[in-house]
Amino acid sequence: MNTRYLCSRTNLALSIILIATVFGIVSAWKEIQSIQEKRAQMPFVFGGDMFEGIKSAIVGERMVGYITDRDMKNDKVSMRFAQAQLTLVPAILDLNNTAHRFVVIDFDDPRKAAMALKLIQANPIRQGGPGLILAERLRP
C-alpha cells in the first residue's frame, strides 16, 4: 500500500472526526443557551420553601405531626407534603397524627386551621402563610 494514500485516508478520517466534534459542540452550546433562556423566563421555585420558617422551631424533634384538609390522593397535595418533609429533615412528618408536641397544620382555609388549633388544644408558634401553622400542643 502506498504511504501517501494511507496518510490521506488518515487525514480524511481525522478531518471527519474533527468536523463531527465541532458540530456536536455547537449543537450542545445552542441547546444549553435555549435551556438558560427558558429558565430565565420561568425560574425554579422549590415549594418546600414555605416550610423554612418552621424548621428552626423544631430543631431536635424526631417526629412532628402533620394534618391537612387537602386530598392527599391529589399529586400536587402529596408533593407539597413531600416537599415539607424534605425541608424539615431530620424531623419526620407523621401524617394525620396530632399526638406529637409539634403539629404542622396545613389547611386551605385559614378559618379551618384556627378551628383545628382549638380541636387539638395547641398554640400557634409560627406561621408560614395562609393556613400554614406550626402549633405546639399544650399537653403532648
Q: Is the domain of 105 the same as that of 55? A: yes
Q: Is the domain of 73 the same as that of 4? A: no
Q: Report the candidate in 126, 125, 49 with the shortest Cα–Cα distance to residue 87.
A: 49
Q: Is the domain of 22 the same as that of 56? A: no
Q: Is the domain of 2 the same as that of 66? A: no
Domain total in the chain: 2
Residue 114: which domain range? 47-137
Q: Is the domain of 120 the same as that of 82? A: yes
Residue 110: band (very low, low, confident or very high) from pLDDT cuts 50, 70, 90: confident
User: Considering the entire predicted model, what is its pTM?
Assistant: 0.68
**Paired strand residues for 123:** 136
Q: Is the domain of 12 the same as that of 80? A: no
CA angle 127, 120, 50 (to 5 degrees): 20
Parallel, antiparallel, or unpaired for β 122-129 and 102-106?
unpaired
pLDDT in tens, 52-102: 889 999 999 999 999 999 999 999 999 999 999 999 999 999 999 999 999
**Helix (H) or strand (E) segment spanning residue 92:** strand 92-95
Q: Is the domain of 35 the same as that of 68? A: no
Q: Report the candidate in 122, 134, 131 with the shortest Cα–Cα distance to residue 53.
A: 134
Q: Is the domain of 54 the same as that of 118? A: yes
